[in-house]
Structure 1
Amino acid sequence: MRYLPHTPEDVSAMLERVGLPSVEALFEALPDACRRETPMDLPAPLTEWDLIIRMESLAASMAAGSGNRVFMGAGSYSHYIPALIPQLLGRSEFTTAYTPYQPEVSQGTLQAIFEYQTLTARLLGMEVANASMYDGASALAEGLLMAIRLGKGRKKVALSQAIHPHYREVVQTYFAPTEFEVLTLPVDPATGRTDFSGLEGMDDLAALAVQSPNFFGCIEDLQSAVSLSHGAKALLVAAFTEPLAFGLLPSPGSQGADIVCGEGQSLGIPQSFGGPGLGMFACRMAHVRNMPGRVVGQTKDMNGERGFVLTLSTREQHIRREKATSNICSNQGLCATASAMYMATLGGTGIRKLAALNRDKAAYLKKALEGLGFTPLFTSPVFNEFTLKAAQGFGRIREKLMEKGMVAGLGLEGLYPEMPEMKEAFLFCATETASREDMDALVEAIRGELL
């Protein structure tokens, strides 16, 4: 049964008010070529239980269930989530809370966001973090637009080719209708790190964006990137897809980054077939008034009690459009709360131990695959992802392994057709969820096919 909130009398009254004879007349401005003349070819309705069976069947056709062994990251990572997080997150105070349009009466929501900002700033080594963005890709695009605003007339931004390809596509989409130019810096074919030589003599640069660990799993030299960008009077925008890496690696802020942005899915958010995500965003306090989104602050009320307020809102819903820094209309509030719970549950010691476990798991799998004839494509150190040149015939073997519920890495040739070295190159990932038995089973399955 369809739910139609408007009665025929309501519809007639509204049409009379706008001076139209029918609902169909509302769409006369659309060209005929853009309008469907026939009903959509949809399957017949199902009962609730038949629909559940259908959805379970579709889910089972994808190698994402618990019965599969997935050794692929590429921006979305499998991590264990402590049981207390979904239990607490399921409380109605969190699940029903939305963005605080009347912020001072939403003290619980504001405090949750404040705690998220605090933990995010500590993890990333920055002075201030906002109340989260949609996802890592849009956070990067917003970070570059922020750098343009701070650049006082500079028209260029430079992106490393080793930034996640999907993130770079989103940046191109954001910048396409603007006057600003997006340049791409190539990857050093030996190290897998960004080749910064193209920056020499470049003027009019507002920002340099580098991801570390980058898409190939290689850890970039952020300090050199900071020196080069600052030498060109530009800002360094540090991107990331795996924030857990900062449990071991120096934080971007500690290395001099001006803006840090990326994906927070690893921090207590299930993969869920690619979404939802969490855009983490932080910067130097000097730049805070150009930061997109919102910032929650701590204060005292008239009785001297601790309270929370919406300190900064630079979006269109709060200030005049021409002064807005972003059209981001909301934050990923529930996802931000989940990540705050995750970071608080593990604490600094727990995050360091978990990061070390991820590094060790990846090193174990990498060494085992090298024993089968795979060769590292790059020489740079890695965290929990790495790129290997495949053994002879691995493409065929990988398809067979898929049928057995094993996803053996991600082929990179299609994502980087402009890089000939990516032919037969695969990106592997091992997190704490990859048991030694699972990794050994993968290696033995490949060995059996190679023999």
Structure 2
Amino acid sequence: MGMPFIPNTEQQQQEILQTLGLKSFDDLITEVPESIRFKGEFSLPDPLSELEAFRLLKSMAKANKNIDDYACFLGGGAYDHYAPAAIDHIISRPEFYTAYTPYQPEVSQGTLQAAFEYQTMICELTGMDVTNASLYDGGTALAEAALLAHRNSRNCDHLLISKGINPNYHRIIETYCRGQGIELKEIPLTTGLITDVEKLKSLISQSTCGVIVQHPNYFGNLEEVFETDKIIHSTNALYIVSVDPISLGILVPPGNYNADIVTGEGQVLGNSLSFGGPYLGLFSVKKELIRRMPGRVIGETVDSEGRRGFVMTLQTREQHIRREKATSNICTNQALNTLVATIYLSLLGKRGIREVAEQSLQRSHYLADQIANLPNFSLLNSGHFFKEFVVSCPVPAREVIGKLKKQNVFAGIDLGKTDKTRENQLLVAVTEKRTKEEMDRYVAG
């Protein structure tokens, strides 16, 4: 019963057993079958010095295939954009790096102001009224938007969701809605891989809570967002849009086509790929929805001496006050990731974001044109696309991926993994980091 990391004396052990009405430690574990109890010692290697441990871990890490050694054309929600070196330098400051929820504003002004600036810039980017201080990632942000739409509607019982949504996001939304008893109805796509607005017209009704679309969608295509707005707002439903923040450098912001809730994945704003996380969920709304919005909100105020200051505001929505009646069970934001996004947006500015978006657009279209000229390969994107496109291959996509991997190229995502009818389809993403040499090597491979 003695533990090397939680020491207790013989007297303390006896007091514990006496309190439990037991005589020995064996009595405490009597429910554990004898056959599965651990006997003897763990088969562990001898201890290592720090240098030896570092060498061992480094050799193990070599088993990973990373974007430093491969040309990365993977996308599907996480993208290989360039992050300025200054970001790591700034976030490594201990007052940022170790900060927790700033319940005491008098000692947290730096953290609070950084979050406030983040909210301001995301509002400018999306054209929305209010932004929270972040959620976990793009998927959970979109799922929280679905719940908000349901909370906002007294007599509505279902949500419409485009089949052009990221399938991983779709599964998260299904999980959230199943627990709340919310019905999901899927809007099919056209042959050109965009949401079928005619089907939307036939599916939507006054009992629809909200309609969820992604723009650009999972296949990279631009949706008919203005036409979608007219259809949705002919009812009481909320217009929910998931966006790629980088695309807003050149695309019309969601506020301009009357979106009610805007979410997105903030990984592209200077955050590393990091094996899938931690990431950053963007969440913006119209001002009339602010009290139903999940997540922290940082506000600007003045102190007793008239000095500008920042505080967490509208806290009565949150879990540390409302408990089970809170607007969300997500009770901590991604503060360090939002700081990264804030620095990224500050360093690049409006012109920089536009340039990243334009280069991603131009390079993706260059590669798409080259692939389309290959025998037996074709593009399935019939309209405008941003940064990402779908290739129809003469063989299963996994074979193309395997062949190019041998040439140090991550070719893209096998769409057959989430839809068996698409096993010959490859989702390819191109960011500003990809060079002409890498793209030509991709085509030649």
TM-score (norm 1): 0.89
* Residue 202 of structure 1, CA deviation: 3.9
CA–CA separation in structure 2 for the residues paired with 1:128 and 1:10: 59
* Residue 97 of structure 1, CA deviation: 0.8
CA–CA separation in structure 2 for the residues paired with 1:351 and 1:210: 23
Residue 371 of structure 2, aligned match among 369, 372, 376: 369
* 1:313-392 equivalence runs, <5 A: 313-314=315-316, 316-373=318-375, 374-392=377-395
Contact 1:296 / 1:311 at 8 angstroms: preserved in 2? yes
The alignment's C-alpha RMSD in Å is 2.7
What one-letter code is carried by the residue in structure 2 that aligns with 1:208? V
Do the aligned partners of residues 395 and 122 (structure 1) sit closer, same or farther apart at CA in structure 2, a change above 3 Å counting? same
Q: Does 1:183 align with 2:202?
A: no
Give 2:430's aligned residue.
430
Q: Does 1:195 align with 2:196?
A: yes
Do the aligned partners of residues 43 and 431 (structure 1) sit closer, same or farther apart at CA in structure 2, a change above 3 Å counting? farther
Give 1:415's aligned residue.
418
CA–CA separation in structure 2 for the residues paired with 1:319 and 1:358: 44
Q: Does 1:404 align with 2:410?
A: no
CA–CA separation in structure 2 for the residues paired with 1:292 and 1:403: 45
Contact 2:81 / 2:268 at 8 angstroms: preserved in 1? yes
* Residue 103 of structure 1, CA deviation: 3.2
- Cα distance per residue 1:305-357 (max 9 Å; x no partner): 10111112255543232431111110000000110010011111111111101
* 1:272-283 equivalence runs, <5 A: 272-283=274-285
Structure 1 unaligned residues grouped into runs of 5+: 446-451
SS of the counterpart of 1:216? coil
Give 1:221's aligned residue.
224
* Residue 234 of structure 1, CA deviation: 0.2
CA–CA separation in structure 2 for the residues paired with 1:268 and 1:360: 21
What one-letter code is carried by the residue in structure 1 that aligns with 2:313? T
Do the aligned partners of residues 91 and 412 (structure 1) sit closer, same or farther apart at CA in structure 2, a change above 3 Å counting? same
Q: Does 1:257 align with 2:229?
A: no
* 1:134-145 equivalence runs, <5 A: 134-145=136-147
Contact 2:397 / 2:423 at 8 angstroms: preserved in 1? no
Do the aligned partners of residues 42 and 216 (structure 1) sit closer, same or farther apart at CA in structure 2, a change above 3 Å counting? farther
Identity of aligned residues (%): 37
SS of the counterpart of 2:233? helix
Contact 1:64 / 1:273 at 8 angstroms: preserved in 2? no
What one-letter code is carried by the residue in structure 1 that aligns with 2:281? G
CA–CA separation in structure 1 for the residues paired with 2:27 and 2:104: 38
Do the aligned partners of residues 255 and 86 (structure 1) sit closer, same or farther apart at CA in structure 2, a change above 3 Å counting? same
What one-letter code is carried by the residue in structure 1 that aligns with 2:177? F
SS of the counterpart of 1:386? strand
CA–CA separation in structure 1 for the residues paired with 2:248 and 2:102: 31
Aligned length: 436
Contact 1:267 / 1:343 at 8 angstroms: preserved in 2? yes
Residue 175 of structure 2, aligned match among 173, 176, 181: 173
Contact 1:388 / 1:425 at 8 angstroms: preserved in 2? yes
* Residue 7 of structure 1, CA deviation: 3.1
SS of the counterpart of 2:136? coil
- Cα distance per residue 1:7-61 (max 9 Å; x no partner): 3479648836964647888888xx979x975599986476344544444344433
Contact 1:100 / 1:106 at 8 angstroms: preserved in 2? yes
Contact 1:314 / 1:325 at 8 angstroms: preserved in 2? no
Give 1:132's aligned residue.
134
Give 1:449's aligned residue.
none
CA–CA separation in structure 2 for the residues paired with 1:97 and 1:163: 34
CA–CA separation in structure 1 for the residues paired with 2:5 and 2:340: 35
- Cα distance per residue 1:142-176 (max 9 Å; x no partner): 11101111112311111111111111111111122
CA–CA separation in structure 1 for the residues paired with 2:15 and 2:339: 41
CA–CA separation in structure 1 for the residues paired with 2:344 and 2:46: 40
Do the aligned partners of residues 27 and 78 (structure 1) sit closer, same or farther apart at CA in structure 2, a change above 3 Å counting? farther
* Residue 278 of structure 1, CA deviation: 0.3
Do the aligned partners of residues 20 and 226 (structure 1) sit closer, same or farther apart at CA in structure 2, a change above 3 Å counting? farther
Do the aligned partners of residues 306 and 436 (structure 1) sit closer, same or farther apart at CA in structure 2, a change above 3 Å counting? same
* Residue 109 of structure 1, CA deviation: 1.0
* 1:36-185 equivalence runs, <5 A: 37=37, 44=45, 47=48, 48-185=50-187
Contact 1:79 / 1:266 at 8 angstroms: preserved in 2? yes
CA–CA separation in structure 2 for the residues paired with 1:329 and 1:287: 19
Contact 1:110 / 1:308 at 8 angstroms: preserved in 2? yes
Segment of structure 1 superposing worse, 279-288 or 431-440: 431-440
Contact 2:396 / 2:423 at 8 angstroms: preserved in 1? no
Residue 231 of structure 1, aligned match among 223, 234, 238: 234
SS of the counterpart of 1:111? helix
What one-letter code is carried by the residue in structure 2 that aligns with 1:84? A
* Residue 79 of structure 1, CA deviation: 1.0
Give 1:15's aligned residue.
16
* Residue 201 of structure 1, CA deviation: 5.3
Give 1:4's aligned residue.
5
CA–CA separation in structure 2 for the residues paired with 1:23 and 1:155: 54
- Cα distance per residue 1:166-208 (max 9 Å; x no partner): 111111111222221112111112x211123144254311011
Contact 1:384 / 1:429 at 8 angstroms: preserved in 2? yes
Give 1:448's aligned residue.
none
Structure 2 unaligned residues grouped into runs of 5+: none
Contact 2:102 / 2:111 at 8 angstroms: preserved in 1? yes
* Residue 91 of structure 1, CA deviation: 0.8
Q: Does 1:443 align with 2:443?
A: yes
Contact 1:15 / 1:23 at 8 angstroms: preserved in 2? no
- Cα distance per residue 1:254-304 (max 9 Å; x no partner): 111000112100001011111110011010011000000111000111111
CA–CA separation in structure 1 for the residues paired with 2:307 and 2:93: 26
Contact 1:217 / 1:384 at 8 angstroms: preserved in 2? yes
- Cα distance per residue 1:107-148 (max 9 Å; x no partner): 111101101100111111100100100111111111110111
CA–CA separation in structure 2 for the residues paired with 1:32 and 1:161: 49
* Residue 392 of structure 1, CA deviation: 4.9
Do the aligned partners of residues 400 and 41 (structure 1) sit closer, same or farther apart at CA in structure 2, a change above 3 Å counting? farther
